[in-house]
């Protein structure tokens, strides 16, 4: 349930800025009156521990703000800019007049408006490093042409749709510009609720007050992934969460899953979870149950959508749910603050909330038909970009489970590594790899020598620079493809190379892969006639796993940097195969 | 009486203790009662009493007693 706008306004007056460790500068430009949005965002930022600084453009001044490079907007230097425009003000008099124009005139008007928007976006990109979120236009439900509106050669509605389509198209070529689908906001809440003629005449208010908190909530979808405070893993209870009833009491045939209206609601919920899994959201189970009873349903029930392979970790036992949750986090190596926990039991939810406030706990209601809408309302699973690795993540974690089982079945580490059949494929950066390479530099904390963060654009520039080598490693083993999981960036000099970045995703640490990648770099440098390679270790709170990597691989410390002399034999790990492209 | 609830809503919207709200409270006596917060108040009242004011009722309000008078016209008593 959202709070009301007046609640947000009251809360915004009592925000303690001191407790925030992150900060963000937000600019809001709008074509109509949007009072209250600023206060609501301020509260929502504070709830996430982000210090909020804002700049509000003057009423309907968005054109001037965006076009004038000396405007208050650019002086403020925002991190994120929201441009919220509405169809009435964008079309001006044409909002009414366009109905009595010819088809060709409407076509020209659409072109003119598209050019204006494109110009705004490009001017903004040239003047600011901020991310830009711009709305599309609502298509009014009314047309004076009534039922023949859609028979016109180029009607009023089609004209607005054309502007929207072009806007969508333009944004595909601008990496840091996003479209907020205001049309879908209107269709979700209904035009009659969003647009109140009284508020419109009283103060050009085009989004009703009571819906401003919901708009703010949607805009937060862009903020959360910028700070990595999006959620990556959903932990699920079983009884009355994935199916109706209690399998331990009602039995395999007694639970509700499919076939009845309630049962269908659980199936629908599972289908939506599967959709998220396919987008790279990790699923796990945390249930108080007899393992045999529950696993029988998961593996054998004909209406079960989610099967064993969809879960990266399964904890079915009678232990404390908080202990199980911690175990899941540790075993799949993911932060508690990346997790969402779904349970129908109030006491379990309270227990988790108390023990791990950083986990987002959702107490499901009694009515299972509400599970799916609750899941769909969440704005916690957003990403600003999606790589192939993200889409394969579920599969990758399922393989990890197999790998862990295998590790337990062999007697020692050497046997385990030898029998994994690891293959490391080292690739040079290219257009397809750039998003993933950037993503790894942005989020890898543990095995990372220098923790230098690079946006996509920067990786692209380095990849085109002859003085640099940008490379990455794709790792395969007998259980499957681990994806692109290692990155290195080398700065080349006349006589030596410098390792600017060297990192490895935490899920493949400890298998000698880092040594294999490094020895390949050393070999390449030697082949090019280099005398030495320099490297650096910049300690952070999290990169202890990489602390001794250089010294263990024959680098010697000299002042602040580490040096490897290329005059000796290069050690190569023998339990894995290295391929270069 | 439902009309008694008006003062509490006014107090909430303008972030004041309810004891400070009287029938004579107005934009002159309450600093935060500007045109925007006035409209937020309208929204809160409409949601609470499940009614819709007309534009002229909204623009006519000069103090809390006017609000109560218009609410009576909407059968809130």
Regarding whether A218 and A70 lie in a shared domain, the answer is: yes
Regarding whether A411 and A287 lie in a shared domain, the answer is: no
Which of A360, A377, A394 is the last residue before a domain boundary? A377
Nearest chain A residue to B35 by CA: give it.
A203
CATH of the domain at A359: 3.40.50.1000
- All residues at 6 or more sequence positions from A307 whose CB lies less than 8 Å from its CB, including other chains: A298, A299
CATH of the domain at B13: 1.10.1200.10
Q: Do A202 and B59 touch (CB under 8 A)?
A: yes
Q: Do A203 and B35 touch (CB under 8 A)?
A: yes
pLDDT at A216: 96
pLDDT at A333: 81
When pLDDT is averaged across residues A270-297 and rounded to a whole number, the result is: 93
Number of Cβ within 10 Å of residue A542's Cβ equals 14
Does residue A392 lie in a domain region? no
Q: Is A30 helix (H, G, I), strand (E, B) or coil?
A: strand
| pLDDT top residue among A1 and A362 | A362
A413 touches chain B (CB under 8 A): no
Which of A339, A357, A377 is the last residue before a domain boundary? A377
pLDDT at A25: 93
Does residue A574 lie in a domain region? yes
Regarding whether A242 and A214 lie in a shared domain, the answer is: no
* A383 to chain B, closest Cα gap in Å: 34
In this model, does residue B12 exceed pLDDT 70?
yes
pLDDT at B1: 61
- All residues at 6 or more sequence positions from A133 whose CB lies less than 8 Å from its CB, including other chains: A80, A81, A82, A83, A177, A178, A179, A180, A219, A222
Regarding whether A119 and A254 lie in a shared domain, the answer is: no
pLDDT > 70: percent of chain A: 100
> What does the mean pLDDT of chain A come to?
90
In this model, does residue A41 exceed pLDDT 90?
yes
Q: Do B44 and A4 touch (CB under 8 A)?
A: yes
CATH of the domain at A484: 3.40.630.30
| pLDDT top residue among A360 and A230 | A360
pLDDT at A42: 94
In this model, does residue A21 exceed pLDDT 80?
no
When pLDDT is averaged across residues A5-27 and rounded to a whole number, the result is: 84
- Round to the nearest angstrom and report the end-to-end CA distance of chain A: 53
When pLDDT is averaged across residues A248-273 and rounded to a whole number, the result is: 93
Answer whether B58's CB lies under 8 Å from A202's CB: yes
Regarding whether A86 and A40 lie in a shared domain, the answer is: yes
Q: Which tens digits make up the pLDDT trace of A290-320?
A: 999 999 999 999 999 999 999 999 999 998 9
- Parent domain of A465: 405-580
Q: Taking CB atoms and an 8 Å cutoff, what residues of chain A touch B59?
A: 202
In this model, does residue A464 exceed pLDDT 70?
yes
Does residue A109 lie in a domain region? yes
In this model, does residue A458 exceed pLDDT 70?
yes
Q: Do B54 and A198 touch (CB under 8 A)?
A: yes
| pLDDT top residue among A545 and A408 | A545
Answer whether A159's CB lies under 8 Å from A110's CB: yes
Comparing A23-37, A224-238, A286-300, B52-66, which segment has the lowest mean pLDDT?
A224-238
* pTM greater than 0.90: no
| pLDDT top residue among A507 and A548 | A548
Q: Taking CB atoms and an 8 Å cutoff, what residues of chain B touch A210?
A: 43, 47
Comparing A18-22, A42-46, A538-542, B53-57, which segment has the lowest mean pLDDT?
A18-22
| pLDDT top residue among A21 and A205 | A205
Report CA torsion sign: A344, A347, A351, A353: positive
Regarding whether A261 and A213 lie in a shared domain, the answer is: no
pLDDT > 90: percent of chain B: 69
Regarding whether A310 and A221 lie in a shared domain, the answer is: no
Regarding whether A219 and A258 lie in a shared domain, the answer is: no
* A178: DSSP letter: E
Structural domain total, chain B: 1
**Phi, psi (rounded to 5 degrees) for A407:** -60, -40
Q: Which tens digits make up the pLDDT trace of A529-578?
A: 899 999 999 998 888 889 999 999 899 999 889 999 988 788 888 888 89
pLDDT at A203: 85
Does residue A310 lie in a domain region? yes
When pLDDT is averaged across residues A277-281 and rounded to a whole number, the result is: 90
* A209 to chain B, closest Cα gap in Å: 7
pLDDT at A455: 85
Which of A199, A226, A253 is the last residue before a domain boundary? A226
- Parent domain of B7: 2-73
Does residue A395 lie in a domain region? no
Cα–Cα distance list, A503 to A386, A432, A438, A451 (Å): 20, 19, 12, 8
Regarding whether A250 and A328 lie in a shared domain, the answer is: yes
CA dist A274 and A118 (Å) reads 37
Regarding whether A245 and A218 lie in a shared domain, the answer is: no
pLDDT at A506: 81
Regarding whether A237 and A222 lie in a shared domain, the answer is: no
Q: Which tens digits make up the pLDDT trace of A315-350?
A: 999 989 999 999 999 888 888 988 999 999 999 999
Does residue A575 lie in a domain region? yes
Q: How confident is the model at residue A77 (pLDDT cuts 50, 70, 90)?
A: very high
Q: How confident is the model at residue A177 (pLDDT cuts 50, 70, 90)?
A: very high
Structural domain total, chain A: 3
Residues A199-234 as b or e (16 or more Cβ within 10 Å = b): beebbbbbbbbbbbbbbbbbbbbbbbbbeebbbbbb
Q: Is A149 helix (H, G, I), strand (E, B) or coil?
A: helix
* B15 to chain A, closest Cα gap in Å: 6
- All residues at 6 or more sequence positions from A413 whose CB lies less than 8 Å from its CB, including other chains: none
Q: Do A199 and B39 touch (CB under 8 A)?
A: yes
Regarding whether A193 and A274 lie in a shared domain, the answer is: no
- Tokens at residue A64, please? 């001037």
Answer whether A283's CB lies under 8 Å from A394's CB: yes
ipTM exceeding the 0.85 mark? yes
């Amino acid at each position: 349930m959202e709070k009301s706008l007046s609640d947000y306004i009251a809360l915004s007056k009592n925000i303690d800025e001191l407790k925030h460790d992150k900060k963000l500068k937000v600019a809001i430009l709008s074509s109509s009156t949007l009072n209250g949005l600023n206060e609501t965002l301020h509260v929502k930022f504070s709830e996430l521990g982000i210090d909020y600084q804002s700049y509000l453009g003057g009423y309907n001044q968005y054109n001037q703000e965006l076009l004038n490079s000396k405007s208050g907007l650019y002086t403020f230097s925002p991190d994120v800019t929201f441009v919220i425009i509405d169809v009435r003000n964008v079309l001006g008099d044409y909002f009414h007049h366009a109905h009595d124009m010819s088809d060709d005139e409407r076509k020209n008007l659409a072109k003119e408006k598209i050019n204006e928007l494109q110009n705004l976006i490009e001017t903004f990109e040239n003047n600011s490093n901020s991310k830009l979120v711009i709305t599309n236009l609502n298509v009014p439900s009314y047309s004076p042409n009534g039922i023949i509106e859609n028979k016109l050669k180029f009607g009023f509605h089609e004209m607005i749709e054309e502007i929207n389509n072009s806007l969508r198209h333009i944004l595909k070529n601008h990496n840091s510009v996003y479209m907020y689908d205001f049309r879908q906001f209107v269709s979700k809440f209904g035009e009659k609720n969003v647009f109140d003629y009284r508020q419109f005449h009283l103060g050009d208010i085009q989004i009703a007050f009571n819906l401003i908190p919901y708009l703010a909530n949607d805009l937060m979808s862009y903020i959360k992934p910028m700070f990595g405070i999006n959620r990556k893993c959903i932990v699920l209870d079983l009884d009355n969460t994935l199916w109706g009833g209690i399998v331990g009491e009602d039995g395999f045939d007694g639970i509700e899953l499919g076939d009845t209206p309630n049962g269908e609601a659980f199936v629908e919920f599972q289908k939506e979870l599967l959709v998220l899994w396919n987008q790279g959201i990790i699923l796990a189970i945390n249930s108080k149950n007899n393992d045999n009873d529950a696993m029988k349903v998961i593996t054998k029930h004909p209406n079960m959508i989610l099967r064993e392979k969809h879960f990266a970790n399964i904890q079915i036992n009678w232990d404390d749910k908080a202990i199980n949750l911690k175990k899941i986090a540790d075993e799949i190596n993911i932060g508690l603050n990346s997790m969402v926990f779904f349970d129908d039991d109030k006491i379990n939810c309270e227990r988790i909330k108390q023990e791990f406030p950083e986990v987002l706990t959702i107490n499901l209601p009694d009515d299972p038909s509400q599970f799916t809408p609750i899941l769909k309302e969440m704005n916690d699973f957003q990403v600003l970009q999606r790589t192939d690795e993200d889409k394969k993540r579920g599969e990758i974690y399922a393989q990890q489970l197999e790998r862990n089982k295998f590790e337990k079945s062999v007697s020692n580490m050497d046997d385990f590594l030898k029998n994994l059949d690891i293959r490391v494929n080292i690739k040079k950066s290219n257009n397809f790899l750039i998003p993933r390479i950037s993503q790894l530099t942005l989020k890898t904390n543990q095995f990372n020598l220098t923790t230098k963060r690079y946006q996509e654009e920067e990786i692209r520039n380095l990849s085109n620079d002859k003085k640099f080598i940008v490379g990455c490693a794709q790792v395969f083993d007998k259980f499957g493809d681990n994806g692109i999981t290692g990155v290195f960036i080398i700065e080349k000099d006349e006589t030596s190379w410098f390792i600017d970045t060297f990192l490895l995703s935490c899920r493949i640490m400890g298998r000698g892969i880092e040594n294999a990648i490094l020895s390949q770099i050393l070999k390449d440098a030697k082949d090019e006639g280099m005398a030495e390679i320099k490297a650096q270790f910049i300690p952070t709170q999290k990169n202890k796993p990489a602390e001794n990597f250089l010294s263990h691989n024959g680098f010697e410390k000299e002042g602040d940097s580490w040096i490897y002399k290329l005059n000796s034999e290069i050690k190569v790990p023998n339990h894995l195969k290295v391929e270069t492209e | 009486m439902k009309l008694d609830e008006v003062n509490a809503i006014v107090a909430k919207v303008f972030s004041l203790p309810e004891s400070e709200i009287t029938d004579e409270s107005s934009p002159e006596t309450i600093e935060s009662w500007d045109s925007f917060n006035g409209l937020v108040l309208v929204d809160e009242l409409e949601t609470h009493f499940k009614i819709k004011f007309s534009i002229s009722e909204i623009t006519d309000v000069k103090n809390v007693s006017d609000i109560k008078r218009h609410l009576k016209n909407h059968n809130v008593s």
